[in-house]
Copies of this chain bind each other. A is one copy, B any other.
Amino acid sequence: MTTPTHPTLTAKQTQAERLSELIAQAVMQGDFAPGARLDEVHLAQHFGVSRTPVREALRHLATSGLIDLRPRRGAVVPARPHLDLQTMIAALAEMEATCARLSAEHMTVTEQHFLASVHDRMAALAQTGDADGYAQADNAFHAALHAGAHNLVIADVTASMRRRFAPLRAGQWQDQAYRARCLADHGAVLRAITARDAAAAHAAMLQHIGSAEPAAA
């Protein structure tokens, strides 16, 4: 009976998801040498699971752009923080910034109030160390902006881009400084939107994603 090395706090997750987050964190922290091969059996043994969930986690991370995965050749962590990853972050930043600008132009007052309430909830959580709740509030904030753009195509594209970064963001919320900066950035975006200042909303969001997302560490 292979037992997990340590008790998982969130029991509702699948092993593949857990591993995806763990491996993503490890790669971003530089625990693996750049260019090193991520051996399936080695990882499976290390985490005390079979190769199946490891494979699925690697597929997920490859699609997210964090690792390179070539058929029959296995996974490697790209020598330098993946070039495409930075490109994808920049792309996400542009999409989110567009949503912010459109929100400044098109949001109803009711939607503005809702956005503010989400922000307040996030601020309240800032005191507690509740990383999980914080992540949830962050998603709610951005989702409100996607909706506020009043364009389902743009909202959909942005949301789907954003979803790819979920495993990469997972660990960030543990960092107190990151949480604080995130809250401050959101505040700036919120102010620009309620002031209907499209250019400021755009700029604030661009800066937020550009700096807050896991850049080339």
- Which residues of A are interface residues toward B (Cβ below 8 A)? 12-14, 16-17, 52, 55-56, 59-60, 63-66, 71-72, 80-81, 83-84, 87-88, 90-91, 94, 98, 102, 151-154, 156-157, 159-161, 163-164, 199
SS of A interface (majority): helix
**How many chain copies?**
2
Instruction: Give the residue name and chain of the B residue nearest to A17 (CB).
Output: B71
Q: Is the CB of A71 within 8 A of B151?
A: no
The answer to whether A83 and B152 have CB atoms under 8 Å apart is yes
A-B contact pairs, 13 of them (CB 8 A): A12-B71, A16-B59, A56-B59, A63-B64, A64-B160, A65-B159, A80-B156, A88-B153, A90-B153, A91-B157, A94-B102, A98-B98, A153-B161
Determine whether the beta carbon of A151 is less than 8 Å from that of B65: no
Q: Which residues of B contact A152 (CB under 8 A)?
A: 80-81, 83-84, 87
Residues in B neighbouring A64, C-beta threshold 8 A: 63, 160, 164
9 new A-B pairs (CB below 8 Å) besides A52-B52, A60-B63? A14-B72, A63-B63, A65-B163, A83-B152, A84-B153, A87-B151, A91-B153, A94-B154, A199-B199
